[in-house]
Structure 1
Amino acid sequence: MFKISDMMEKEVVNVNNGKKLGFINDIEFDMGEGRIKSLIIVNEGSKSYLLSRGEACAVSWNNIIKIGHDMILVKIDQQVDFNDIDI
């Protein structure tokens, strides 16, 4: 079991290309099913990354391969578009 606050400290990495995507900024829940729908990732290259404002993308819960001690591995085949979500 883990806390959401613990997940937000883990770096998200795409296993297909080894690219570091950033850190979790938010989590999207499906209240009807009681499940996590996706993770909202803030681009670590964004100028205002430390303020948690900037470009973000949603990564579906189904794309998560492994949640480790210090990072979350995801498998995303297409290029990640950090303009998906305005936070």
Structure 2
Amino acid sequence: MRLCDFKDKQVINLCDCCVIGCVSDIIFNECTGKITDIIVPGPARLCGIFGRDSEYIIPWNHICQIGPDIILVKLTHEEAKAHKVIF
């Protein structure tokens, strides 16, 4: 799988079956070349006109399965709050 294959895949949380969003970027370890996190933009502000004010940085070890169209992750409500970065 190529890195560009991750872009625009929907991320779904298995704990509450909610769609978190689509992958916008990844973070990887430069020394090992391994992916450490995926980045999913948070909810849009006011109909998407003013952009987004947060994003989710989801650790690789929370990913359960990667399919052709979606990525399944397992995050509890508390973990989701902890991985949300507010600008």
TM bin (shorter chain) = 0.7 to 0.9
Q: Which blocks of at least 5 consecutive residues in structure 1 are unaligned? A: none
Q: Separation in 2 of the partners of 1:17 and 1:36?
A: 25
1:12 corresponds to which residue?
11
Per-residue CA deviation, residues 36-69 of structure 1 (Å, 9 max, x unaligned), is 11001112x31486xx754201000000000001
Q: Percent identity?
A: 28
Instruction: Decide which structure has greater strand share.
Output: 1
- Deviation of the 1:32 alpha carbon: 2.1
Aligned residues: 84
Instruction: Decide which structure has greater helix share.
Output: 2
What TM-score do the two structures reach when normalised by structure 1?
Answer: 0.78
More deviation, 57-66/31-40: 31-40
Q: Which blocks of at least 5 consecutive residues in structure 2 are unaligned? A: none
- Deviation of the 1:78 alpha carbon: 3.1
